[in-house]
Amino acid sequence: GAGVSQSPSNKVTEKGKDVELRCDPISGHTALYWYRQSLGQGLEFLIYFQGNSAPDKSGLPSDRFSAERTGGSVSTLTIQRTQQEDSAVYLCASSILDVSSYNSPLHFGNGTRLTVT
Amino acid sequence: KNQVEQSPQSLIILEGKNCTLQCNYTVSPFSNLRWYKQDTGRGPVSLTIMTFSENTKSNGRYTATLDADTKQSSLHITASQLSDSASYICVVSARGGSYIPTFGRGTSLIVHP
């Protein structure tokens, strides 16, 4: 079946512009995560959606970052007034999660490489 | 604070050789530990999962071990191949609340011919 799809795969933008990154999770997956990975670094948690619950936004680095998940499926990560330090790969992952499914793996997309010039 | 530490940070080996990657964690209460493989330009893919009662688990040439008492895990790669060149990430999940796992920074493995 189809995996997690992210678009665009690459995005180059000028400093100060807004960008939107899209994630299509695997159908039926209730949990959706956004991560950021800077060059040569580990994954940095940004935000987590689970079903209709309020998202966990504890990883968002500033109020320039926001995300929404419409209809429990597609998610969009928005970065306003981009800065050069926002340059990174943004990864989305989805998972089947319920109270008995701590063991479900995260399924990742291949990410959006964002370059802020 | 939940933490996952991996070592070494990077490793270079010759094709056909074996290697072992290490992971130490302080996540509590422990639910499970996964090893992910991340190829360049791709998202991470799960290799294996270890739960509290499991000591060792194999997936082809990959063998993971878990010592829940010392909170350590290892990933052993046998007869390495060029395609094993990747970043290997240790990820630990806690039980009872947050579904947000804790990621290690990864070990970058390069296999030379």
- Alpha carbon B87 to its chain's center: 9
> How confident is the model at residue B28, as a pLDDT?
87
Question: What would the pLDDT profile of B83-99 be if each residue is shown by its tens digit?
Answer: 999 999 999 998 876 78
Percent of chain B with pLDDT over 70: 98
Question: What would the pLDDT profile of B29-65 be if each residue is shown by its tens digit?
Answer: 898 999 999 999 999 999 999 988 889 999 999 999 9
Q: How confident is the model at residue B80 (pLDDT cuts 50, 70, 90)?
A: very high
**Token representation of residue A73:** 């499926």
CB contact under 8 A, A56 and B89: no
- State the smallest CA–CA distance between residue B69 and chain A in angstroms: 20
Among B47, B100, B105, the residue to mutate for chain A (most A Cβ within 10 A): B100
- State the smallest CA–CA distance between residue B23 and chain A in angstroms: 14
Spatial distance between the Cα atoms of B10 and B107, rounded to a whole number of angstroms? 5
Report long-range pairs for B45-53 (Cβ below 8 Å, ≥24 apart). B45/A108, B46/A105, B46/A106, B47/B75, B47/B88, B48/B75, B49/A103, B49/A105, B51/A103
> How confident is the model at residue A43, as a pLDDT?
95
Among B88, B99, B100, the residue to mutate for chain A (most A Cβ within 10 A): B99
Kindly state the helix (H) or strand (E) to which residue A112 belongs, with its residue range. strand A112-116
**Contact indicator for B98, B1 with CB cutoff of 8 Å:** no
> Is 70 exceeded by the pLDDT of residue A1?
no
> Is 90 exceeded by the pLDDT of residue A102?
no
Scanning A56-95 for CB atoms below 8 A from B yields 56, 91, 93, 95
- Distance, first Cα to last Cα, chain A: 37
| Strand B107-112, strand B10-14: pairing | parallel
Residue A60 burial (CB count, 10 A): 18
Question: What would the pLDDT profile of A3-38 be if each residue is shown by its tens digit?
Answer: 999 999 999 999 999 999 999 999 989 999 999 999
Residue B71 burial (CB count, 10 A): 17
Query: 3-state DSSP call for residue A43?
Result: strand
- State the smallest CA–CA distance between residue B107 and chain A in angstroms: 10
Q: Which of A45, A102, A108 sits opposite B93 (nearest CB)?
A: A102
Question: What would the pLDDT profile of A38-81 be if each residue is shown by its tens digit?
Answer: 988 899 999 999 888 889 999 999 999 999 998 879 999 999 99
- State the smallest CA–CA distance between residue A1 and chain B in angstroms: 15
Percent of chain B with pLDDT over 90: 82
**What values do phi and psi take at A60, rounded to 5?**
-65, 125
Spatial distance between the Cα atoms of B93 and A99, rounded to a whole number of angstroms? 13
CA-based nearest residue in chain B for residue A5: B43
